[in-house]
Amino acid sequence: MTDLTKLTMSEARAGLQKKSFTALELTDAFLTAIDKGNGALNAYVLPTPEHARAQAKESDKRIAAGNARSLEGLPIGNKDLFCTNGIRTTACSKILDDFKPTYESTVGLNLWDAGAVMLGKLNNDEFAMGSSNETSAFGNVVNPWRRKGSDGKTSTDKLVPGGSSGGSSSAVAANLCLAATATDTGGSIRQPAALTGTVGIKPTYGRCSRWGIVAFASSLDQAGPIAKTVRDSAMMLKAMASHDAKDTTSVDAPVPDYEAALGKGVKGLRVGIPKEYRVDGMSSEIQKLWDDGIAWLKSAGATIHEISLPHTKYALPAYYIVAPAECSSNLARYDGMRYGLRVNGDNLIDTYEKTRAAGFGKEVRRRILIGTYVLSAGYYDAYYLKAQKVRTLIKKDFDDAWNSVDVVLTPTTPSPAFAFGEKSGDPLAMYLEDIFTVTVNMAGLPGMSIPGGLSSQGTPLGLQLIGKPFDEETLFRTAQVIEDAAGRFAVPDAWWMKG
């Protein structure tokens, strides 16, 4: 039998339909792969083999009975930010200790109701704060991609998988699941997808329910999938998205059949190229990637238009005010009183301080402090209020752009995957990883990263598509054209598999 873990999600779906293999066989193939490969990658913080097999058996019954659902028997990984009923959920923070929710996230429920099988909980940056998956309480996640000529013998050869959804991107790229859930507050789906040669889409704010997902910055957080192909990501998002009365920011709008949009091509589509994204010092390989993307869309019949998004340069600083402000308040509930870690002190204040000092990592503490500062009396107007005004201007930039274009094309990241420690000592360098992605969250728009080529080091690079609100369909059909032209990028050598 061929290696089932190398199948795409849609191929696996076809195989199950044809009964070429069972859901249990498929699940076991992934569980074996996790067993062998997770030690080197650390993508999963909690594999759930028994849970997975039970779900797979149920799927096999449904397939046999002829009432398979849309993702029946397809094994996926679940980012540890999603609360799972009875299964430890930590947001990869010590502060949640061995917290076991008594509830399932709405996105999770949607996936299990569609028949998907959960292989386990995936690593991420602590509370989704990071761009390299170096802030997780469970340690770094390793990118299965290595630089050309690297033999992986020294630790500096290891590359980051991006963040915060580094477990998701690494696991998908390394065939440790068919696809994975992820979340994106400033680029946490698209940047890891770009760094691992996978496809990631952050849908429009409000498309997926945030209920049951550990919050980082409520006005920016949005769930989406990381998958191997554009089609797979369309399958996943269709299942994940829903209106949810429990999240009043979720939108009551029908969820289209995204797969149906895939073959429609881009003839006549107006593609915007924002001049402000040609940042100083952009590397020639990123420039080439972008030019390739433009050429592919042009030859498929799209028209290319230079556009201006004048407030782009303010997006990153404004984001690093809004997101920490919301996080400082959202993370106040982790106080050691009701669940998770508690370190007892001499009195109440001492207990708070000891608990939160021990429970939160350095980056989370940094953002809580920044957020507390910008909301403080006397600083609110200068920081938070001004950042919100910038946000309105960024939204307006896009609103204006939609008068002349249907979709925007940019690179996803300024550079390919980097080594551990390369940026983690310098928060600003790390924050710059999000320079092309944060605007999308600030404007609440859908954004997608599709592999577009390899860097000079032989590691993946991603192209980003930005769409109109709730127009994910245009992103999918455009992404399909790019994928068809660029081809898929699989890791050449499964070095992480032991034995």
Partner 1 sequence: MSSQKVAEKPKAKNLIAGATGDWEVVIGMEVHAQVASKSKLFSGASTGFGADPNSHVSLVDAAMPGMLPVINRECVAQAIRTGLGLKAQINLRSVFDRKNYFYPDLPQGYQISQFKQPIVGEGEIEIEVDGETLKIGVERLHLEQDAGKSLHDQHPDYSYVDLNRSGVALMEIVSRPDLRSSKQAQAYITKLRTILRYLGTSDGDMEKGNLRADVNVSVRKPGDELGTRCEIKNVNSIRFIGQAIEYEARRQIHIIEDGGKIDQETRLFDSGKGETRSMRSKEEAHDYRYFPDPDLLPLELTQGFVDDLKSGLPELPDEKRARFMKSFGLSGYDADVLVAERSSADYFETVAEGRDGKLAANWVINELFGRLNKEGKSIEDSPVSAAQLGGIVDLIGSNAISGKIAKDLFEIVWTEGGDPAEIVEKRGMKQVTDTGAIEKAVDAIIAANPDKVAQAKAKPSMLGWFVGQVMKSTGGKANPAAVNEILKGKLGI
The only residue of 63, 117, 142, 213 in contact with partner 1, by rule CB under 8 A: 213
Give the CA distances from residue 396 to residues 33, 98, 293, 400, 403, in Å, rounded to whole numbers and listed in that order. 47, 44, 26, 6, 11
Question: Considering beta carbons, is residue 336 or 452 the nearer one to partner 1?
Answer: 336
Site string for partner 1, 247-266 (x = CB under 8 A): xxx-----------------
Q: How far apart are CA 108 and CA 182, in angstroms?
A: 11
Ordered DSSP codes for 85-101? TTB---TT-GGGTT---
Structure tokens at 476: 């999918």
Residue 415 annotated among the catalytic residues of the structure: no
Looking at residues 380 to 399 of the shown chain, list those that interact with partner 1 (rule: CB under 8 A). Answer: 380, 384
Q: How far apart are CA 201 and CA 158, in angstroms?
A: 26
The only residue of 20, 32, 219, 283 in contact with partner 1, by rule CB under 8 A: 219
Q: How far apart are CA 118 and CA 128, in angstroms?
A: 20
Q: SS3 of 23, please? A: helix
Residue 79 annotated among the catalytic residues of the structure: yes
Site string for partner 1, 9-38 (x = CB under 8 A): ------------------------------
Q: How far apart are CA 433 and CA 195, in angstroms?
A: 11
The only residue of 245, 260, 357, 358 in contact with partner 1, by rule CB under 8 A: 245
Pairing of strands 222-227, 199-202: antiparallel
Q: How far apart are CA 203 and CA 197, in angstroms?
A: 19
Cβ atoms 68, 59 nearer than 8 A: yes
Site string for partner 1, 273-312 (x = CB under 8 A): ----------------------------------------
The only residue of 45, 325, 407, 481 in contact with partner 1, by rule CB under 8 A: 325
Cβ atoms 353, 341 nearer than 8 A: no
Looking at residues 66 to 85 of the shown chain, list those that interact with partner 1 (rule: CB under 8 A). Answer: 83
Pairing of strands 179-184, 222-227: antiparallel
Question: Considering beta carbons, is residue 103 or 495 the nearer one to partner 1?
Answer: 103
- Which H/E stretch holds residue 464? strand 460-467
Q: How far apart are CA 184 and CA 24, in angstroms?
A: 31
Question: Considering beta carbons, is residue 189 or 215 the nearer one to partner 1?
Answer: 215
What's the closest the beta carbon of residue 330 comes to partner 1, in angstroms? 9
Structure tokens at 57: 């058996």
Site string for partner 1, 86-125 (x = CB under 8 A): ---x-x----x--x-xxx-x--------------------
Q: How far apart are CA 54 and CA 32, in angstroms?
A: 16
Question: Considering beta carbons, is residue 20 or 85 the nearer one to partner 1?
Answer: 85
Q: How far apart are CA 258 and CA 114, in angstroms?
A: 15
Residue 49: CB partners within 8 Å, gap ≥ 6?
31, 119, 120
Number of residues that bind partner 1 (CB under 8 A): 42
The only residue of 151, 338, 403, 428 in contact with partner 1, by rule CB under 8 A: 338
What's the closest the beta carbon of residue 349 comes to partner 1, in angstroms? 8
Residue 455 annotated among the catalytic residues of the structure: no
What's the closest the beta carbon of residue 212 comes to partner 1, in angstroms? 4
Looking at residues 347 to 366 of the shown chain, list those that interact with partner 1 (rule: CB under 8 A). Answer: 348, 352
Looking at residues 462 to 491 of the shown chain, list those that interact with partner 1 (rule: CB under 8 A). Answer: none
Asked if 205 interacts with partner 1 (CB under 8 A), we say: no
Question: Considering beta carbons, is residue 8 or 219 the nearer one to partner 1?
Answer: 219
Cβ atoms 183, 165 nearer than 8 A: yes
**HSE-up (13 A, CA, CB side) for residue 428:** 1
Question: Considering beta carbons, is residue 21 or 205 the nearer one to partner 1?
Answer: 205
- Which H/E stretch holds residue 44? strand 44-47
Asked if 335 interacts with partner 1 (CB under 8 A), we say: yes
Cβ atoms 448, 477 nearer than 8 A: no
Asked if 45 interacts with partner 1 (CB under 8 A), we say: no
The only residue of 37, 47, 212, 361 in contact with partner 1, by rule CB under 8 A: 212
Q: How far apart are CA 175 and CA 4, in angstroms?
A: 9
What's the closest the beta carbon of residue 351 comes to partner 1, in angstroms? 9
Asked if 240 interacts with partner 1 (CB under 8 A), we say: no
Asked if 333 interacts with partner 1 (CB under 8 A), we say: yes
Residue 493: CB partners within 8 Å, gap ≥ 6?
none
Q: Which residues are catalytic?
A: 79, 164, 188
Residues near partner 1 (CB under 8 A) are 83, 89, 91, 96, 99, 101-103, 105, 210-215, 217-219, 245-249, 325-326, 328-329, 331-333, 335, 337-339, 348, 352, 372, 375-377, 380, 384
